Amino acid sequence: MEEEEELKAILREAFGDSSSDSDGESSHHRQVQGLVNDSTDEVVKPHPIFGETDIWEPITEIKGLWICRDFLSTDQQASLVSALEKEGYLAEASHNQAMRFGDLPSWALELSYYIRGNILLSGYFSESMDLMTSGNSKETRLFPPELLWREPLFNQLIVNIYQPGEGICAHVDLMRFEDGIAIISLESSCVMHFSPADAEISHVEDVKKEAKIPVLLTPGSVVLMWGEARYLWKHEINRKPGFQKWEGQEINQKRRISVTLRRLCQTK
């Protein structure tokens, strides 16, 4: 199948290729389980996001909003923070935001590959592929194919560094960016609140304009926003005392880093 070959090509690009296994296990399966050392055919670093189908959680109140809380392992989080430090993103405490447009650094490309591969193998992408579960509708789809197959998947990133007590006000991302946004959280947990934007969300019963839907973002998690979640809901993080609570417990706030991946709208 053409789609399956495209999937394999993407996995090879993201995670490398491996030789055939003597026990008959396919190289594709080995790639799903972890990165493969070409010289020894040894799985050198399993990645927890692959081989699972239940780690993506839909935020049921908001269409197009999904979270994967174990997207990056502890070691991968540390490696990402180290890469940010080496590139100077965390050099000065007074500089709490950095943007990059166009060609992304290698670590951001790797994040994009992980996101794409994870979605393809999640079981929530397309009912037409043998690797996916059947019966998925557009409403239950993790990410639309017209967004997932675009090249590049993302071409803009923003790194934000939040000290304890610092957050971001309620907003909808600028329309200069296309649909489909990914947000990776590092170092500190926080609660992000979603509230309806000015546009009417008529099919959601009993949603008031001032309603707020809380979502817990843990270190190493990734949030996907598309469709209604991207355009019809504002998101915010209020880290002032008393606002960061989950299940009745106050969150111990530390420095938080977020990496947001987006794609610029094409100019005509």
Give the DSSP per-residue string, 120-148.
HTSSSS-TTSTTSPS---GGG-SS-HHHH
Q: Are residues 250 and 226 in the same domain?
A: yes
Per-residue pLDDT of the chain (268 residues; tens, 9 = 90+): 454 455 545 444 444 443 333 333 333 222 333 333 333 333 333 333 333 434 899 999 999 999 999 999 999 999 999 999 998 887 776 678 999 999 899 999 999 999 999 998 887 665 433 333 334 445 568 999 999 999 999 999 999 999 999 999 999 999 999 999 999 999 999 999 999 987 555 555 555 555 789 999 999 999 999 999 999 999 999 988 888 999 989 999 899 999 999 999 987 6
Q: Are residues 134 and 4 in the same domain?
A: no
CA distances from 48 to 8, 13, 34, 114, 132 (A): 19, 19, 8, 11, 18
176 C-beta neighbours (distance < 10 Å), count: 10
Residue 268 lies in a domain: no
Residue 239 lies in a domain: yes
Here the CATH number for the domain that contains residue 137 is 2.60.120.590
Which of 162, 165, 166 lies closest to 185 in space, CA to CA? 162
Q: Are residues 29 and 147 in the same domain?
A: no
Residue 161 lies in a domain: yes
Q: Which domain holds residue 111?
A: 51-262
CA distance 5 to 227: 28
Rounded to two decimals, what is the model's pTM?
Answer: 0.75
What token pair was written down for 140?
């239950």
C-beta of residue 213 within 8 angstroms of C-beta of residue 194: yes
